[in-house]
Amino acid sequence: MFHLHLADGTEVWLDALSSIRFPGAFPKGDRIVEVNGQAYFEVAKNPAQPFKVKSGRQVIEVLGTHFNINTYNREMVRTTLLEGSVKVQADKSAIVIQPGQQAVLSAELRLSTNASPDLDEVMAWKNGRFQFNGNTMEEIMDEIARWYDIKVVYKDKINETFVADINRNLPISKLLSLLEMTHQIKFVIDGDQVTVTKW
């Protein structure tokens, strides 16, 4: 995880395998940055210079606010608002979300609103946690693979979903041991590869 301050006073936290492009100093007009992966923003208020975040074919416009954007899954880009208000645009459609809501952009560029996302789960990464609430093993291992920079191989199809809240600073062997305590799955670590099998 990486924390940085932009020239206008905006703070940004980047998750694993995430990137941001921004100017050294914002010119007059809009403050524009580009994001890939997952980032949390605390935008410095400046009504004269709207702050815009581009991610693929989506643009988020804010004046001063706190929000999280997750673009890891290009099939379902999620923008979650914690404070303020934002307008999310994609092609010719746009929606405005309020605190506690989430804008969801599908692969077909359809925008929708999730009125009650799990904010603890959305922000767990920034707070140094893995939090899973009914996630599939593939969803869990995707997040673990990004964080620990590992390759995941599945020997069996895992149909169960899982609930867990785990510290991100654990060694991967300890984290996987905690998941094995469900008695649903087993892991074999071989260098930078983890093989997943049924219990």
pLDDT digits (tens, 9 = 90+) for 37-74: 999 999 999 988 999 999 988 999 997 799 999 999 88
pTM of the complete model: 0.89
How far is the C-alpha of 167 from the C-alpha of 180, rounded, in Å?
16
Side-chain half-sphere of 40: how many Cα atoms within 13 Å? Answer: 16
Cα distances (angstroms) measured from residue 53 to each of 121, 186, 194: 22, 40, 35
pLDDT tens digits for 133-160? 999 999 999 999 999 999 999 999 999 9
User: What percent of the chain stands above pLDDT 70?
Assistant: 100
Kind of pairing between the strands at 76-83 and 19-21: unpaired
